[in-house]
Structure 1
């Protein structure tokens, strides 16, 4: 009996040893292929999971920044029922009513009709009504103090936004354009347009500005002209001779020549008037070719007229990117 038990105990390890194959040698090639297959399967599963997560994330982002939904939410939050197009074709029956508009916005210089006297207290913002095209461009006037953050944002470039506005009965005039007071706004996302800056050109303008002790650039003056009369400012860009004399500068042709400058800070064209005797060399240079220039300009209050646009007198100039 004792012998049988011992034999049984001795047989168990042998059986287990045979069943588990611990005594046999595994084919190395088979083992490697098996491991590679397992690794490939895991990688494929992980790749599918990552793709699914990425797609889900992208859908969430697209949903989050959908302009139409954001505009609807903006109108609901502000309790606004009217859109710009509701007002555009029925202005007189909707005076003093708030309406909403959404589109690409940029700073403007247009002041007219009952809004022509607002330049000192309000800045102008041009908004292309979403889906309506340039023909349905509105100009909204925002308080310079209350909406200074919007002003600084738009100075950096065009911005997509939604705004609440109204046409006050006290300022409405028959036949006016799409003009209104801006009362609220919300940025709708997207990147502001970046200014066109080339290293050496920007450096030249900044060095000139520092050298001359200028605190203002053309952009600061253009969108707040009445508050910056008789103040020196920087104009920089490509310059060529011009023939434009208008507004308070109309009588200067005999004593001053005109220079058109595509200013970097505004992207618009300034006409700067230089004394023919003092800047005779500049006149001869520009007769031959266009030049990159940095200018100290000023808008004398004695010459300024409402709505004149980018007109100034030139006090000093540097040609090229070095001096």
Structure 2
């Protein structure tokens, strides 16, 4: 697979995450989160709370593991004995919306999307106290956290909304800064590109990559003012199917872009956005390089894979990345 060495076969894997020190690997299944020791690849523990886990985060010091599920629950575990130390659920005053989240510097504090008075807003939420602060005043059908942007110390969200009589889905980027100090947000408008379905910031190159449903990719500068490059995968030999794109990520060194669709995983060279590896994987949902590019992590609705990243050693032309 991907001409890489297989290290570990996993079962259902909606998301796969390594601890910052690379000693632990977690993956989410339908009813539990499973933890492995990466030195032995032996299973450490299965965490059954919360049920239907979706997203994982290790604290910066790896002392805590945060797990969010699909129906509005956070659980926090210590990573020594994996004791459950905090839980918070949706209540009458707010509902925790399904989707990714960010950890903030304050203990037990996350940046997430809450539904309050029937409207979705970006908020800080203290899992220990249940206190929250609304940071935005947005109108939209969906808000999704993408990633932290070191370029301007902001947190990037995508806002989708229906426009026009026929209800066309449109997208905007939302940036939140200083959520714990002096919170503010901005809506990034007039991008000069058509609708996209996925976006990813690549820190090494300080650019944004947008993926459009018609197989087009757009690279924009860090200020989101200039289109630097456009490319279409169908012009590079990729056959269009009825697939839909679900995940986008870049390698740590910025050499590769990983695009996951509902039935394929594409590894693209950054410089020209041409496919280097394409693997057909039914019900694919997740593919990323680990933070130092040691591993390539792939998840589907039926299985998962931990692979050794040896792309630089393969025979295809990598001169563009050197």
Asked which structure has the greater CA Rg, the reply is 1
TM score, norm. by length of structure 2: 0.23
Which has the larger strand fraction? Answer: 2
TM score, norm. by length of structure 1: 0.23
